[in-house]
Structure 1
Amino acid sequence: MSPSSEEKNMKKWKTPLWAAFAAALVVLLSGVAALIYLDELYPVGLGPRQPIPFSHRVHAGVKTISCFMCHSEAPRSSRAGIPPLETCLLCHSRIIRTYPYIARLRGDAALNRPVIWERVNWLPEFVYFDHSMHIQRGIDCGHCHGDVSRMDRVVKARKFQMGFCIQCHRYNRATHDCYTCHR
């Protein structure tokens, strides 16, 4: 008995199982590579992991809390400052009290134990920068720090190099005297 022409055509187009598996694997790996390339699977640009997962997006964005509620030193000092735990507890003594990190925060405050935050932005010691002077002149925090209201974990938005500062000073007609920033 000889095979019919229909059986010959089916054998001709029948793909071995290993080839189908290999093709599916290639498609899957291509999809994963595309997700990584598009920053969907492993997002880049997250700031440093903090001891308590504080979201600026939620606090400054969704809840529209002013930068100065937490960074209260910025309008009157060279440093913006990190808020004491009591500032956090102004709200969190009543709001989402049972969330594990908030409970930990309350425990740290009760024991007078500070939370050691990972610093995101800093300047070399030979550079003097005064937050209050810039705020009093109407410079928005986002100009240097980026749109933190869209960041869960804050990233360094700018490279604080001399060229960035000089360009801003020129644009705002501020002094270029070296001793203003280098003391």
Structure 2
Amino acid sequence: MTPAARPDRTPGKVPEEGGPPRGMPLWPSAVAAAVVVCAALAALVYLDRLYPVGLGPRQPIPFSHRVHAGIKHISCFMCHDSATRSSRAGIPPLQTCLLCHSRIIRTYPYIARLRDLAARNQPVVWQRVNWLPEFVYFDHSMHLRRGIDCSHCHGDIRQMDRVAGAVKFEMGFCIRCHKANKVTHDCFVCHR
């Protein structure tokens, strides 16, 4: 082979037929691909935790919605009364619990702890079950006025000892409901 017919093997130079430059290591490309894959997997794990569905978190004081809402037939609004007049349903103050539990099963250890915390004016640090991103605006009272039952989004709470997310509060869930009920699905109604 004559020198003119021989391909140029200068490091970093791309051969005429294409392909990676000769003499350049392939590991930077492999590392970049691995970083992208790891970032994608981390994003999926994060998003799955962001919109949890399944067994709910353990609470510092166990509270059975099955007993209260199911067996005792206590309305959601007895404890979550702010849902009817504001955007948030919220967690009721301890005084709401004590409306009944100042007289009922007072000596039960968890009720005694609840009463002690209330007497010291200390809150129970409940673990959050349902969550929406900051940029999403949701008004419970507006949905209740339209006749949307709590179970549509929260599942059959009356069957839950430990509350869990019943659905993933993702945009598609909300849009399907808005379309089915013939209400606006203008972006800026919910995204603020």
For the aligned pair, the TM-score class normalised by the smaller chain equals 0.7 to 0.9
1:98 equivalent in structure 2:
107
1:132 partner SS: helix
Pick from 39, 45, 67: which aligns with 1:58?
A: 67
CA apart distance, 1:126: 1.1
Q: Share of identical aligned residues, percent?
A: 79
1:25 equivalent in structure 2:
none
For 1:119 and 1:71, the matched residues in 2 are separated by 15
For 1:182 and 1:132, the matched residues in 2 are separated by 18
1:177 equivalent in structure 2:
186
CA apart distance, 1:81: 1.1
- Kept in 1, the 8 Å contact 2:55–2:165? The answer is no
2:57 partner SS: coil
For residues 4-83 of structure 1, the aligned pairs below 5 Å read 45-83=54-92
CA apart distance, 1:163: 0.6
1:112 equivalent in structure 2:
121
For 1:157 and 1:112, the matched residues in 2 are separated by 32
Pick from 136, 156, 164: which aligns with 1:155?
A: 164
1:96 partner SS: coil
1:153 partner SS: coil
Q: Which amino acid aligns with 1:168?
A: C
**What is the TM-score when the length of structure 2 is the normalising length?**
0.72
Q: Which amino acid aligns with 1:128?
A: Y
CA apart distance, 1:115: 0.4
For 1:100 and 1:46, the matched residues in 2 are separated by 24
**Structure 1 unpaired stretches of 5+:** 1-44
Q: Which amino acid aligns with 2:107?
A: T
For 2:133 and 2:109, the matched residues in 1 are separated by 36
CA apart distance, 1:46: 2.7
Q: How many residues align?
A: 140
**What is the TM-score when the length of structure 1 is the normalising length?**
0.75
1:28 equivalent in structure 2:
none
1:125 equivalent in structure 2:
134
2:152 equivalent in structure 1:
143
For 2:100 and 2:122, the matched residues in 1 are separated by 19
1:73 partner SS: helix
The structure with the largest helix share of the pair is 1
2:172 partner SS: helix
Aligned-pair RMSD on alpha carbons? 1.1
For 1:182 and 1:47, the matched residues in 2 are separated by 27
